[in-house]
Every structure is written in C-alpha cells, then in structure tokens.
Structure 1
C-alpha cells in the first residue's frame, strides 16, 4: 500500500510509520521538524520505502506542498492518516487565551481539512482515511478548551466526508485511540504513571487491522 501519515516523528504517528514500513508498504510522512524525520529514516535503515518532508499542516500552502510531494513519489494513496495535532491548554473557556485557541483549531481542525482536501484527488477508490480523534471530542470535557472543540469537529468532519466519498467506496473513520503513552498525554496528565498506559505501538497495530478489515465508516474507539 501507499500510505500518507501526518505527524510521523513521535508518538502514535511514529509507531505507524515504523509498522507500515516494516510491513513493506510505502510511506510518506511529515512533521514540523524535518530533522526528527531524518533521524527516524536513519533508524529504519535509510529505506527507500519512507519519504518525508517538513510541513505545518495548519498552513494551507505547506499542506498542499506536502501532498504534492507525496503524489510525485507515490502517484496515488491507499491510506491517509491525519495524526498531527497539538494539545493547547487545559483551561476554562472564560480564561482561554485567544491566540492559543486559534493555533489549536488551525492545526487540529484546519490542518485535517487542508491535508484531506488536497489528498482526495489522489486517493485510490476503495481506500481508507483515518482522522485521529479523542474521547474529549465525544462528550463534554470541561477545561479541555480548543482541543476538545477541535476533536468534536473531527468527529463531524469524518462523518460528513464518509458520505461524500461513499460513491468511491472510500471508508472514513474518526478514531479515538484512548489513553496512550505519548508526550501529549504526559503534558495533559503530568502526574499520571505512563507505565499504566498502552504504548503507541499497540494503537498502531489496531489501526493497521482497521485498514485491512475496512469496517463501515464511522467513529471508532480503542480503549484496550
């Protein structure tokens, strides 16, 4: 398969890149830090199955350049995984800083829109699009602010997109990975023992099963 993954330098994104590459698939990924992706590429033996480019997904021009980069190298995509995202602040709406709000929405919601919009023309019929969501986007999560709102947006965006792409048999999922041992989780819960959480690799294994099994489009939770 030919797979596009945003935010591939750490956490769930990095685990996904490693799993897909080791299974023999072609992967094109991005991160704001191209150096971190170069390090990952070297860790994977400088494989020609991994292509990477620095990208700010929340910038429409940067997002378009990244998808063009992937298209030039892979021609078409079987899988698109919108994983890139930021936490922002855990703060009440009343006290939430406007600039942080705008940045979180720009990256987490607008970024998914830009990447997906530019990728759709190159998605193979019968393909799969996975948008990383969160439990905070499923029900009211006080003090999660822009992050929660952005993930509510991802849930709605995914359901809407699934209807629009149904005629091409492209499945679309809003995927909530549940509590996972990532830096973002540690930032959100600084006093939590990370050893009590599942590793990103376990989430990546589930996502690969999801891609292969292709259940009906919808919202999916992974709480194991």
Structure 2
C-alpha cells in the first residue's frame, strides 16, 4: 500500500484527506496539535490499522523531527507528503498587528513546512509527491491578512524552489490553494459568511487525489470545480 504523511489531520481539510486516503487503501501517518484532537480522531475513525497518529507542533523543530521519525518507523518510505497544518492569526492592518501573533503564524505556517519537509526528504520515494497547502492570500496582495498572507507567499516561494531542487529525483512539488472551503479557519476569517455556500473539505480531498494522479507540470495549483 502507498504511504501518506500529512500534518494537521485531525480536522478540516486534513481530516477529509485522512479519511479519503484510508478508504482508498493508503497507510496514513498524521498529527494534531493536542492530545485531545489526536484521541478524538482515532476514536471517531475507530482506530484503523493503517492509521498512525502523533501529537506534533510542526513549528517546533524537535517536535517536527520526532513526528517524521515516528512516520518513518511506522511507514518506511513516503509516497506523498502533505504540509497542511496552519493557523490564521489576526486580520488587522500591519501597524496594529501583534508581534507575538506574527511570530507564531510564521513559526507554524512557514517554518513548520520547512522543518517537516527537511526531515521527510531522506525518506521520500523517487517519483513521490509533496503538496504544500497555500492560499489565494499567498498569490496576490491581501490587505489585513497580515502574517497569514506573508506565510503563504513564503509557502509558494518555498514550493517553487523545492520543485527545482527535487526534479533530478523525480519528486513533484505543488503549492495548492484549496479556495473557499467549509472549515473552522474559514469561519473565523469570515464569521458573516454562510458555510453552506462553500464546498466541503471532502471535495478538496477528492481534488488532491486527482492531483497526485494527474501530476501537472505547473507547481502552483488552484482548486478547480
């Protein structure tokens, strides 16, 4: 069976990806920020044998390394790595943006992608795929999105750089913008929005499955209906 490592798999898009790939027969190793979230995921999915879960703070290099080593122990080599974990921060103008929130968002959303990828690369199979979750806010100026927008611009750049570096190994890299999706993070960003008007995370998971099968040449990919 193919092997998937995905961060932030306890809810939202990450949770939908975990469920779909398990159903499709993949071995899945994922993480969550809290013991409560990890425990709830295992209980709700009834502890399938091909699911491995660990608490991890991706923005902490020691925690990130421990998670990747845990996945190596459980899975061996990795066919697919999805850097999904991220946080929103605050939607404020730069002059009002709290320094500690800025640092935390960059730590999780950008440093976390670097740490997890760096530690996972020795275990990636030739011909494998890396998907880094991006955002429309990381593709064009997005006033008042602060550190989140900047972190996603960083993810886009990191993905472009990594794609070039990994070409000789046959590893594809994508910065993937899922678009407006029915998640807790989206609800926090747009509290006035009706979530029922948005696509569910399951649709994004299905798109990711198609993406790894089609493997387009472009690195920056947007969800397409």
TM-score, normalised on structure 2? 0.98
Alignment of structure 1 residues 64-79 onto 2, 5 Å:
64-79=65-80
- CA–CA distance in structure 2, aligned partners of residues 193 and 97 of structure 1: 29
Alignment of structure 1 residues 143-162 onto 2, 5 Å:
143-162=144-163
- CA–CA distance in structure 2, aligned partners of residues 92 and 39 of structure 1: 36
Partner residue, 2:11: 10
Partner residue, 2:164: 163
- CA–CA distance in structure 1, aligned partners of residues 168 and 96 of structure 2: 44
Tell me how far 1:200 sits from its aligned partner.
0.2
Partner residue, 2:97: 96
Q: What CA deviation, in whole Å up to 9, does each residue of 1:130-180 have, x standing for no partner?
A: 000000000000000000000000000000000000001100000000000
**Secondary structure of the residue that 1:150 maps to in structure 2?**
helix
Q: What CA deviation, in whole Å up to 9, does each residue of 1:88-139 have, x standing for no partner?
A: 0000011111000000000000000000000000000000000000000000
Structure 1 spans left out of the alignment, 5+ residues: none
- CA–CA distance in structure 1, aligned partners of residues 218 and 174 of structure 2: 5
Partner residue, 1:195: 196
Residue-pair matches, total: 224
- CA–CA distance in structure 2, aligned partners of residues 201 and 116 of structure 1: 25
Q: What CA deviation, in whole Å up to 9, does each residue of 1:159-211 have, x standing for no partner?
A: 00000000011000000000000000000000000000000000000001111
- CA–CA distance in structure 2, aligned partners of residues 134 and 92 of structure 1: 19
Tell me how far 1:44 sits from its aligned partner.
2.0
Work out whether residues 34 and 52 of structure 1, in 8 Å CA contact, stay in contact via their aligned partners in 2.
Answer: no
Partner residue, 2:217: 216
Partner residue, 1:19: 20
Structure 2 spans left out of the alignment, 5+ residues: none
**Superposition RMSD in Å:** 0.8
Structure-2 change in CA distance of 1:56 and 1:43 (3 Å): same
- CA–CA distance in structure 1, aligned partners of residues 92 and 224 of structure 2: 25
Work out whether residues 171 and 217 of structure 1, in 8 Å CA contact, stay in contact via their aligned partners in 2.
Answer: no
Work out whether residues 162 and 217 of structure 1, in 8 Å CA contact, stay in contact via their aligned partners in 2.
Answer: no
Partner residue, 1:173: 174
Partner residue, 1:33: 34
Greater alpha carbon shift after TM alignment, 34-43 vs 18-27: 34-43
TM-score, normalised on structure 1? 0.98
